[in-house]
């Protein structure tokens, strides 16, 4: 991790710790089709894992790509329960 990228880790970690309880509560206790919720939730978490793998790589380009993907995935993880709230 470069020095410039090290400062971006703290906001991502705060957002990650905010997102994980929200998405897990939605996946297991939300309304609607349980298998769809689990499929959507776990696929988003897998993409987030790939983004964090990129973020902690040694290549600068992959770190930039990983940061952008991680930020987008964390935002989408927060929005997903709101979008599917009234879907049955």
pLDDT at 88 over 70: no
Residue 32 counted as domain residue:
yes
- Alpha-carbon distance of 84 to 20, in angstroms, equals 17
**Averaged over 4-15, what is the pLDDT?**
72
Q: What digits encode the pLDDT tens for the residues 22-50?
A: 888 888 888 778 888 888 888 888 888 88
Q: For residue 58, what is the DSSP state?
A: S
Which residues touch 33 (CB under 8 Å, ≥6 apart)? 87, 88
Burial of 48 (0-12, 13-18, 19+ CB in 10 A): buried
Mean pLDDT for all residues in the chain: 79
Residue 50 counted as domain residue:
yes
pLDDT at 51 over 60: yes
State how many domains the chain has: 1
The C-alpha angle with vertex 81 and arms to 75 and 86, in degrees rounded to 5, equals 140
Residue 56 counted as domain residue:
yes
pTM above 0.85, yes or no: no
Residue 88 counted as domain residue:
no
Could you tell me the pLDDT band of residue 6, with boundaries at 50, 70 and 90?
A: low
Tokens of 35: 């298998």
């Amino acid at each position: 991790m470069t020095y410039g990228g090290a400062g971006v880790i703290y906001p991502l970690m705060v957002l990650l710790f905010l997102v994980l309880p929200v998405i897990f509560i939605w996946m297991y206790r939300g309304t609607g089709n349980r298998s769809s919720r689990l499929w959507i939730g776990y696929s988003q978490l897998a993409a987030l894992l790939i983004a964090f793998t990129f973020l902690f790589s040694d290549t600068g380009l992959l770190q930039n790509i990983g940061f952008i993907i991680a930020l987008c995935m964390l935002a989408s993880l927060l929005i997903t329960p709101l979008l599917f709230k009234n879907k049955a």
